[in-house]
Structure 1
Amino acid sequence: MYRKPDWDARLAAYLEPLRLRPFAWGSHDCCIFAAGAVEAMTGVDPMPEFRGRYSTAIGSARALSRFGKGTLAATLDDKFEPVPAALAHRGDIVMTDGLLGICWGASLFAVGSEGEREGLVMIERRRWTNARGWRVQYGF
């Protein structure tokens, strides 16, 4: 799976309608959000085995045990090339303190809340802690 030549426009188009969409297990959580971003950039859904398989936190953990590698990080290690989060490029997947999102240069977009507003939140790179990254490959 490789990024399409217009991956940046595809990613921006994917993010726009999600700005105010609230978190929902199994339909708009960090795993489904990041997988959707990768699908937007590459045309390939990297996590089809998880779609429609859970609707709660416990269900998510069960799905990771049944269809993944036990944890979200281990599942991503199996599907993508791990990279230090400090070297993540725009469009790469990043996890910080268990929150998974998409790198947007000096920030990360993830599903969350800011005050009473739910939807996509932006976390500045300098606030990433215990961060891990995974490369979404470029095509040649």
Structure 2
Amino acid sequence: MRLPDWEQRLADVVAAHQGGVFVWGSRDCFTFVRETVFRLTDQCIWPEIRYGGPRQATVRLRRHGFRTVSDALADVLPEVPPALARAGDVGVVIEGNAEAGVVVLGAEIVGMAPGRGLTVLPLVRLHRAFRVG
């Protein structure tokens, strides 16, 4: 269940990532999604997982039994069609040959991207979506 002030919490977590640099394992697409879910619900969907690059991130996911970020999200959150995603929900986009975690803001989604930090994309880029609260 979302906390009563989830909208302000969503704005706060997005603001906290603006201007920040992408850092694998601490300020990346997966940690951004995990932090957003926690801030909106007080639910820790994944323990803190440390990794220093894309290869280590893949290894960590596989150690938990998942091939992709969306597999990990589907294990703990209910999936919804991307067209039904609402502000505060999370999901993934496809970047190159990999999935990247994002947060839905409404008609836009945001995520942390290497070399760019917080990146805004149109909702139509959402590949899979998961309900938060």
Identical aligned pairs, as a percentage? Answer: 30
Cα offset, 1:16, TM superposition: 0.8
Confirm whether residue 56 of structure 1 aligns to residue 47 of structure 2.
Answer: no
Query: What is the identity, as a one-letter code, of the residue corresponding to 1:55?
Result: G
In the other structure, the counterpart of 1:4 is: 3
Structure 1 residues 71 and 123, CA gap change in structure 2 (3 angstroms)? same
Q: How does 1:1-140 map to 2 (within 5 A)?
A: 2-48=1-47, 51-97=48-94, 98-112=99-113, 118-126=116-124, 128=125, 131-137=127-133
Gaps of 5+ in 1: none
The two structures, once aligned, show a CA RMSD in angstroms of 1.6
Give 1:125's aligned amino acid.
Answer: L
Letter of the structure 2 residue corresponding to residue 85 of structure 1 = P
Matching residue's letter, 1:36: E
Distance of 1:52 and 1:135 partners within structure 2: 22
Shift of 1:122: 0.8
Structure 2 gap ranges (5+) = none
How many angstroms does 1:119 deviate by? 2.1
From the superposition, tell whether residues 106 and 60 of structure 1 become closer, same or farther in structure 2 (CA, over 3 Å).
same
Q: TM-score scaled by structure 1?
A: 0.85
2:111 is aligned with what amino acid?
A: A
TM-score, normalization: structure 2?
A: 0.89
- Please say if residues 38 and 45 of structure 2, whose CA atoms lie closer than 8 Å, have aligned partners that are also in contact: yes
Q: Contact 2:69–2:92 at 8 Å: present in 1 too?
A: no
Q: Deviations over 1:36-77 (max 9, x none)?
A: 0111101122111xx243111111011101124232111111
1 CA distance for matches of 2:10 and 2:117?
16
Contact map agreement 2:20 2:117 (CA 8 A) in 1 = yes
Which SS does the other structure have where 2:51 is aligned? coil
* Alignment coverage as a number of residue pairs: 129
Distance 1:38 1:11 in 2: 9
